[in-house]
Amino acid sequence: MPSFVYSQLFVRPSYPEGSLDGQTILITGANVGLGFEAARHVVRLGASRVLLGVRNVPAGEEAKKEIEASTKRPSVCEVWEVDLASYDSVLAFGDRISQLPRLDAAILNAALATETFQLAENYERTITVNVISTLLMGLLILPKLKATKKEVPSSHPHLTFTVSEVHAWVQFDEWKEKNTLQVISDPAKAKMGERYPLSKLLEVLVVQELAGRVRGSEVIINMVNPGLCHSQLGREAGWGLWLLKQGLARSTEVGSRTLVAGILSGLESHGAYMSDGVVQNTMLSEFVRSADGAKAREKVWSDVTTVLEGVRPKILQNI
């Protein structure tokens, strides 16, 4: 907690600089908050094609207009619909991505924070959106990122996941259960007050495992912690988060810099945890770095990919 407070109050991530000229960039959750501001940066840095992955298409169209007007770069953004609470929607989105001429980077930023229990695709909705469908999308677009590297050898494709320092604020004894996903999706056992931190811990674990199975020379896979920011992420969360934001939250634009840092980073960030826009693996929780954390990572990966193999058979061959 002391390091979190210090970072929030005294560390200001660097303003994104560099060139994305000619690149095609995907950002999910791009109609509001961090994703929206990250998209604005990406357009400002010269990307030729920016895909705004959104659930709310009219809001996405408004975001497109504002981004292009503020950067004075018309006809760069495209609004693509995707609902991470629906496997069919994610599959259709991934199949559409596969038809692109190229894909240079993706920031998988869309997420849900809620204390209301609800099922989506037979699992608690937060877990479906933040973990299962997010990994599904990553696996679906991975072949296009790899293909871009082959076709443009000078390129450095990136797959960046937005995570959070709150992954360290939760206990995760459920990893020892036979079917972890079923246990945490049981309404009688789900601890919804800490559901968002748990989802981000699971995401950290699966991203680590994915990065360990992919060569960074093909695709750089990393995860970024933007810190606590003013955004619409917590619109379904309780008053506790709202109060915390009043004293500690970064502006949405400042937080978005960390997302863009993920796709501008070098090979040193492959498999790494980035915080404040730089690699800081020591900021991962003690649990993640422990022997039990390694066992939990293997268990969660097995559970999640078993679900995904049912959704899209042989999807692991995309790795």
**pLDDT, tens digit (0-9, with 9 covering 90-100), for 301-310:** 999 999 999 9
Q: What whole-number distance in Å separates Cα of residue 226 and Cα of residue 255? A: 5
**pLDDT, tens digit (0-9, with 9 covering 90-100), for 142-157:** 999 999 999 999 999 9
**pLDDT, tens digit (0-9, with 9 covering 90-100), for 45-70:** 999 999 999 999 999 999 999 999 99
pLDDT of residue 229: 73
The structure's pTM equals 0.93
**Mean predicted confidence (pLDDT) in 192-204:** 97
From the candidates 144, 149, 200, 299, give the one annotated as an active-site residue: 200
Q: What whole-number distance in Å separates Cα of residue 264 and Cα of residue 63? A: 23
pLDDT at residue 244 greater than cutoff 70? no
pLDDT at residue 292 greater than cutoff 90? yes
pLDDT of residue 191: 95
Tokens of 261: 């840092």
For domain 2-9+19-318, is the CATH number 3.90.1150.10? Answer: no
pLDDT at residue 241 greater than cutoff 60? no
**Cα separations in angstroms, 71 against 28, 53, 76, 238, 246:** 20, 19, 10, 35, 29
Per the CB < 8 A criterion, the answer to whether 74 and 66 are in contact is no
Give the confidence band of 238 by pLDDT, cuts at 50, 70, 90.
low
Query: What proportion of the chain, given as a percentage, has pLDDT over 70?
Result: 92
pLDDT at residue 272 greater than cutoff 80? yes
Number of Cβ atoms within 10 Å of the Cβ of 61: 15
CA neighbor of 216 nearest in space, from 167, 255, 272: 272
pLDDT at residue 10 greater than cutoff 70? no
For the chain, the structural domain boundaries read: 2-9+19-318
pLDDT of residue 249: 76
How remote is the C-alpha of 223 from its chain's centroid?
A: 7
Give the confidence band of 3 by pLDDT, cuts at 50, 70, 90.
confident
pLDDT of residue 251: 87
pLDDT of residue 227: 86
pLDDT of residue 214: 98
pLDDT at residue 237 greater than cutoff 60? no
Q: What whole-number distance in Å separates Cα of residue 200 and Cα of residue 84? A: 15
Dihedral class, residue 316 (left if φ above 0, else alpha if ψ from -120 to 50, else beta): alpha
196 is catalytic: yes
Task: Provide the mean pLDDT of the chain.
Answer: 93
* Radius of gyration of the CA atoms of the chain, in A: 18
Per the CB < 8 A criterion, the answer to whether 131 and 304 are in contact is yes
pLDDT of residue 82: 98
pLDDT at residue 245 greater than cutoff 90? no
CA neighbor of 105 nearest in space, from 166, 41, 164, 56: 41
From the candidates 87, 123, 196, 273, give the one annotated as an active-site residue: 196
CA neighbor of 140 nearest in space, from 286, 315, 269: 315
